[in-house]
């Protein structure tokens, strides 16, 4: 019986969760900063760090209270240490180290993207590796071969903008506000996804990498050209056509990855995994593949996924001492 307090603070959500044995979530508390960053059109790192400092202890206390657990009953502390905004990460890492030292219990360092993948284990108790997973969010777009609970191979990743980042930037151009993903998804339902033809980016070397900078620029140019010619912009058509392109490319590469690895199971993870067009595209084209994805609350940044990943890291004795530091960049398959 392993009782883990997990902490997540890699971007603009301050989160804490109590997880038992990796897959049983006793509490999952998230304090979001979306309303604060809306006026800036995106996350401001310095503001995010200050808000994490204000919220971290309150969020941890609430997670313990909701779980009905005393901090003295905990077996481990798990924390996101990479990748993310360095100042934001430092708040969570510092809190985790303080608790680990004060309680005399082991500290588990967790990679944020590994956490996103692990959200599927919570949602689907019978899911086991191996499988291929698309992790798509504001900061990441990866196709990962999950060999085992702590063994990963990156098969493809973005060479420029992440998918969620592209959604945010296109939403800004269309005047929809932040965060862009849900707003694009909602508006696209009223549009014609075949109205505008945006070129798909496919690399000639057979790479499963992504590039979303080009379509972002194409949308910007389309809107600017329309404005210069005094033409009305059908925002719903733009949103739908853009979304269709991005989702089709992600599913193209994901299915190809599963084929190459001879995997029968496919997972989605990350904030973009909530996108209705992406899920529809995958469901329509999945064939004989079994498809898994988390519920929306587990797609966005949360600490339950960190507790789940931390549990499996603890089984291979992946612990850290008090020299643990925040790392803004770190590949998922680090050793």
Average pLDDT over residues 179-187: 93
At 11-53, the pLDDT tens digits run 999 999 999 999 999 999 999 988 888 888 888 989 999 999 9
Q: Look over the chain and give the mean of its residue pLDDT values, rounded to a whole number.
A: 95
Which pLDDT value is given to residue 322? 96
> What gap in Å lies between CA 298 and CA 90, rounded to an integer?
23
Phi, psi of 157 (to 5 degrees): -160, 165
Protein fold of 128-295: Nucleotidyltransferase; domain 5 (3.30.420)
Residue 318 has, within 13 A of its CA and on its CB side, a CA count of: 19
Which pLDDT value is given to residue 1? 83
Burial group, residue 124, by CB count within 10 angstroms (0-12, 13-18, 19+): middle
Residue 134 has pLDDT above 90, yes or no: yes
* Torsion angle in degrees (nearest 10) through CA of 63, 301, 133, 319: -60
Residue 275 has pLDDT above 80, yes or no: yes
Q: Tell me whether domains 3-117+299-315 and 128-295 share a fold.
A: yes
Which pLDDT value is given to residue 204? 82
Which pLDDT value is given to residue 169? 92
> What gap in Å lies between CA 332 and CA 202, rounded to an integer?
23
Residue 335 has pLDDT above 80, yes or no: no
Sort strands 24-32 and 13-20 into parallel, antiparallel or unpaired. Answer: antiparallel
Residue 113 has pLDDT above 80, yes or no: yes
Tell me the C-alpha to C-alpha distance, in Å, between residue 30 and each of 55, 224, 263, 292: 10, 39, 34, 23
At 197-217, the pLDDT tens digits run 988 888 888 899 999 999 999
> 231 Cβ partners below 8 Å, 6+ apart?
none
Q: Does domain 3-117+299-315 have CATH number 3.30.420.40?
A: yes
> What gap in Å lies between CA 136 and CA 233, rounded to an integer?
28
Domain ranges of the chain: 3-117+299-315, 128-295
């Amino acid at each position: 019986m392993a009782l883990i307090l997990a902490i997540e603070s890699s971007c603009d959500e301050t989160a804490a969760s109590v997880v038992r044995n990796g897959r049983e979530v006793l509490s999952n508390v998230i304090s979001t900063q979306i309303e604060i960053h809306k006026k800036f059109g995106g996350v401001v790192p310095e503001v995010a760090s200050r808000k994490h400092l204000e919220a971290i202890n309150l969020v941890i206390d609430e997670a313990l209270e909701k779980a009905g657990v005393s901090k003295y009953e905990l077996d481990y502390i798990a924390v996101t240490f990479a990748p993310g905004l360095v100042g934001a990460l430092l708040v969570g890492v510092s809190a985790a180290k303080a608790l680990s030292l004060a309680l005399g219990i082991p500290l588990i360092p967790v990679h944020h993207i590994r956490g996103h993948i692990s959200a599927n284990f919570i949602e689907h108790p019978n899911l086991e590796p191996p499988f291929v997973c698309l992790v798509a969010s504001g900061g990441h777009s990866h196709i990962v071969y999950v060999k085992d609970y702590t063994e990963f191979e990156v098969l493809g990743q973005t060479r420029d903008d992440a998918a969620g980042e592209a959604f945010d930037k296109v939403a800004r151009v269309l005047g929809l506000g932040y965060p862009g993903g849900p707003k694009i998804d909602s508006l696209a339902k009223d549009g014609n996804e075949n109205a505008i033809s945006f070129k798909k980016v496919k690399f000639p070397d057979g790479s499963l990498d992504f590039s979303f900078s080009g379509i972002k620029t194409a949308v910007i140019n389309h809107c600017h050209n329309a404005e210069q010619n005094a033409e009305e912009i059908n925002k719903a058509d733009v949103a739908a056509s853009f979304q269709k392109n991005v989702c089709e490319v992600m599913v193209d590469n994901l299915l190809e990855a599963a084929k190459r690895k001879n995997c029968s199971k496919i997972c989605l993870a990350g904030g973009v995994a909530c996108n209705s067009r992406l899920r529809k595209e995958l469901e329509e084209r999945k064939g004989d593949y079994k498809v898994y994805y988390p519920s929306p609350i587990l797609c966005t940044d949360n600490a339950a996924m960190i507790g789940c990943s931390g549990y499996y890291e603890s089984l291979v004795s992946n612990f850290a001492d008090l020299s643990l530091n925040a790392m803004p960049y770190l590949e998922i398959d680090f050793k």
